[in-house]
Amino acid sequence: MKMTKTVHRILGVQNAIFYLLFLIILGLLGFLSREFHFQADWTYGNRNSLTEATRRLLEQTDQPLNFVAYIPEDAMLQEQLRKLVAKYQRVKPDIKLEFVNPDLEPVRAKQDGIQYAGQMVIHLGERSEVIEQTTESVIANAIQRMSRGAERLVVFLEGHGERDPLAETSNGLSQFITSLERSGFKVQPHNLVRTQSIPDNARFLVIASPQKELLTGEVEVIKNYLEQGGNLLWLQDPGGLKGLKPLADLLGLKVSEGTVLDANEQLHAVLGVSHPAVVPVVDYGRSPIAEKLTGSQSLFPFSTMIEQSPVENQQSLVWQTEELLTTLPNSWLESGTIDGAVTYEEDKGDVLGPISIGFTLTRLLEQPEESPTTELANAKQERQQRVVVIGDSDFLINSFIGQGVNLELATHIFNWLSADDKLLAIQTNRAPDTQFTLSETSSFILASFFLIVLPLSLISLGALIWFRRRSR
């Protein structure tokens, strides 16, 4: 094509239009990027996003949620906190973030309980809590504590060799109690000989497998507590009721003395347990306690069978009873001693599974005659009395609380008994790829390759190279 002045002029106009449109497109892209934001988390398990547990907690929070960071003027640190809080704002857009310099506003810092720069205050409605770390677990636990509205007092019966809620030994409950305290519970041991009643502000009473006989008067105090509408968690190990048979009669339950076993060696290999008395549970009935469990099996070592009384007990209150925990069909209740190889023997009184080892009981109480309109919802919630009876206390101890979904199940039981039903949907989210598990065969092959094959190959290759150089 011949380049005339006209053609040259047309090409110049075309180039000018191209650059103009290109600049307009860049401007539009810049405008859209400022007005609209899109983020995607491609990490396995979405670990750069809020967990499902935290999202559920934020979605159920109907009060204003504000973060106040008491930090000095630091643009970089403020930007990091904005990105952190933005994850929460994507779930709950009305969350606000504010930066306050504690050196310039010491009065406000003192009112919020700030002791030094770098702390953050979370305000939920009229409640607030100071945190020193901004990890998701710390923030979620703080929000969960404040969402309860008040601290939940739980009393543990003591004085008869029960499980010690504060003991840090392998058979203590300190790990579970620490988790409860982070989420707003207050645990208090309680001796009925010292105080002949259950505190009125206690959410529920815990009887964790007494090893000594309770006094008749102590049992009467517990019965009166139940008859007046108190909530109860009763954990009973094999070996006898230790004076608590009147309590079982009042609940309309029968607690066995034998031990539930499961001698399936293949199942033990899968679960990583070696004792037949460590029994898995994967069936949880229709109870809301287990409706939102994120895993399948929970492990119950040395548990016993619980069943409803075969005939109507005149001493029993009127309960709505539902099975909570049921073992697998190949389990059985061993009526004899566990010594050496054990097998199911029907003629000796063994009971073939599935075995029920846990029940929930509810009872509707009479609604107060006069209830203020503003407290009507709370009055209705308090009308339901709740009891959980489990034929095992070992699933809560420090050496077992981390097995399967034991911790999650136990937390749900405590939330249900304290009438915090909305928190039952809060699940513990676990990253799916933080553990690398190999079978025994794969481990042997991998070890053989690195310890035998690879070293011998390197030695052989070195010897071959040396021999060839020597031959030259």
Indicate the SS3 state at residue 110.
helix
pTM reported for the whole predicted model: 0.67
Q: What CA–CA distance (Å, rounded) separates 372 from 38? A: 48
Strand stretches in 184-319, DSSP E: 185-190, 202-208, 231-235, 253-255, 259-261, 278-283, 298-301, 306-308
What CA–CA distance (Å, rounded) separates 74 from 103?
13
CB atoms within 10 A of CB 215: 14
What one-character DSSP code corresponds to residue 104?
T
b vs e for 319-333, b when ≥16 Cβ sit within 10 Å of the residue's Cβ? bebebbbbbbeebbb
Please tell me the distance from the alpha carbon of residue 266 to that of residue 268, in angstroms, as a whole number: 5
- Which pair of tokens denotes residue 414? 């405590």
Q: Could you give all domains of the chain from N- to C-terminal order, each with its CATH number?
A: 52-145 (3.40.30.10), 151-365+381-419 (3.40.50.880)
> Which residue stretches of 366-453 are H helix?
376-381, 406-417, 440-448
User: In a 10 Å sphere around its CB, with 0-12 CB exposed, 13-18 middle and 19+ buried, how is residue 390 labelled?
Assistant: buried
Which residues make beta-bridge pairs with 96? 66
Neighbours of 73 (CB within 10 A): 10
pLDDT per residue as tens, the chain (472 positions):
567 778 788 888 888 999 999 999 998 888 887 777 666 666 655 666 787 778 888 888 888 899 999 998 888 999 999 989 988 998 899 999 999 999 899 999 988 888 888 889 999 888 888 888 888 878 887 887 787 767 789 999 999 999 999 899 988 999 999 888 877 788 999 999 998 899 988 999 999 999 999 999 999 999 999 999 999 999 999 988 999 999 999 999 999 988 999 878 788 788 788 788 899 998 888 888 887 776 678 899 999 999 988 655 556 778 999 999 999 988 999 888 877 777 888 888 888 989 999 999 999 887 655 444 444 344 444 578 999 999 999 999 998 898 888 888 998 899 899 888 776 655 544 444 445 566 778 888 888 898 999 999 999 999 999 988 888 7
Burial tier of 91 (Cβ tally within 10 Å: 0-12, 13-18, 19+): middle
